[in-house]
Amino acid sequence: MGSSVIPTSARRIKARIQWNVLAMEKPSKNKPTYRNSIFFTSKYFFRKSAVKISVSVKYITKKMNNIISESSNDTILIHPFIYFFFCCIILLHKILNKNH
């Protein structure tokens, strides 16, 4: 029943991550390029970790969907995972933006 809700939320996270990745790849014209600075390397690290996170979200939702299809009352199980990943992404963002 609730299984149709879960992939959409996971897709939303993935889309948000991909949007962040795209935003980080293009330095704006009025700012100096970060290529030789620590800031750029941290952005690059975040880009790589964002890809890893999106892959793991996909993997977890697949696993959770298998569990949910077997038992209907386990729909709540997915939510802690989604919130956990959101927290991870937000924390990473805050840590890396301190270099600004």
Dist. CA 95–CA 63, nearest whole Å: 30
Mean pLDDT is highest, among 13-17, 36-40, 75-79, for 13-17
The token pair at 25 is 């790849």
CB 74 within 8 A of CB 2: no
Dist. CA 71–CA 20, nearest whole Å: 35
pLDDT digits (tens, 9 = 90+) for 48-99: 556 565 666 667 677 766 665 655 554 555 566 677 777 778 788 777 877 6
Total-model pTM = 0.23
Dist. CA 74–CA 65, nearest whole Å: 10
Rg, C-alpha atoms of the chain = 16
For 50, other C-beta atoms within 10 Å of its C-beta total 21
Dist. CA 90–CA 57, nearest whole Å: 15
pLDDT at 37: 44
For the segment 39-55, the average pLDDT, to the nearest whole number, is: 56
The token pair at 92 is 């990473």
